[in-house]
Amino acid sequence: MAASSKRKVTYFHDADTMGSYYYGPGHPMKPHRLAMTHNLILSYHLYRKMEVCRPHLATDEEMLQFHAAEYVDFLRRVTPDNQPDFSKQLQRFTVGDDCPVFDGLYDYCRLYTGGSIDGAMRLNAGTADVAINWAGGLHHAKRSEASGFCYVNDIVLAILQLLKVHARVLYLDIDIHHGDGVEEAFFTTDRVMTVSFHKYGDFFFPGTGDVKDVGIRAGKYY
C-alpha cells in the first residue's frame, strides 16, 4: 500500500492515570485492563503505526451538551468520604452498587470522555481516519442517570461533536449489552441511526433493545 493511501490512525490513552482507577473489590469493571491493553500495543509495536495522544479532560461545558447540570455537578462533588451527605442524589441518579462512588470518579469520567471527544474532533478535521479510545464506550449512561457501570455517555458526546460537521452519523454497537443510553439520546432524530447487536431476553441487562424498537417521529427507522 502506498504511503499516501495509508489510513491515519490516532489512539488516545493516558498511561499515567487511566489504569489506576478502581471501582472497588469484586466489581467486574476494571479500568486496569486498559493498562494491560496499552502494554500489548507497546509489546506488539502497534504504536509505530499510529499517533498516540493523551486525551484532554472533558470540561463541564462539554458534558453539559448532553447531561443535566445537576447531574454533572453531583459527579464533580461526590466522593467516597462525603457520599452519605448525598443520599438523595445517589438514589436519584442511580449511583450505588453497579455504579459506585470511588476515588477520582469525576476525573475518570472527564478522561475517558475527553478521549472520545478528541477522536471525533480529529475525524471532523480530517487529521485521522480512525480514532481509538479503548477507555470509552460507556453506552448505558443517561442524561441524568448512571447505569451499567457508566456515568458519562462519551459516545453521545462524540456523536454530537461529529454532527457539527456531518449531516448524519451511523452508530454500531457490538457489546453484548444493548446500547440503551445512546439509542435513547437519539430516538427521535433522523440524524443518528443506532444499530446495536446484543443479547436480548431472559431478563438480560438492561432489558431493552427489542427488534421492534425503531425510533419515533423523525427518528423512526433511524
Q: Is 47 exposed, middle or buried (0-12, 13-18, 19+ CB in 10 A)?
A: middle
The label of the residue with cell 442524561 reads: 143
Active-site annotation holder among 38, 67, 139, 140: 140
Nearest to 67 by CA among 106, 34, 104: 106
Is 177 an annotated catalytic residue?
no
DSSP for the chain reads --GGGS--EEEE--TTTGGG----TT-S--THHHHHHHHHHHHTTGGGGSEEEPPPPPPHHHHTTTS-HHHHHHHHH--TTTGGGGHHHHHHTT-SSSS---TTHHHHHHHHHHHHHHHHHHHHHTS-SEEE-TT---TT-BTTB-BTTBSS-HHHHHHHHHTTT-S-EEEEE-SSS--HHHHHHTTT-SSEEEEE----STT-TT----TT---SGGGTT-
Peptide bond into 206 cis (omega under 30): yes
Active site members? 140
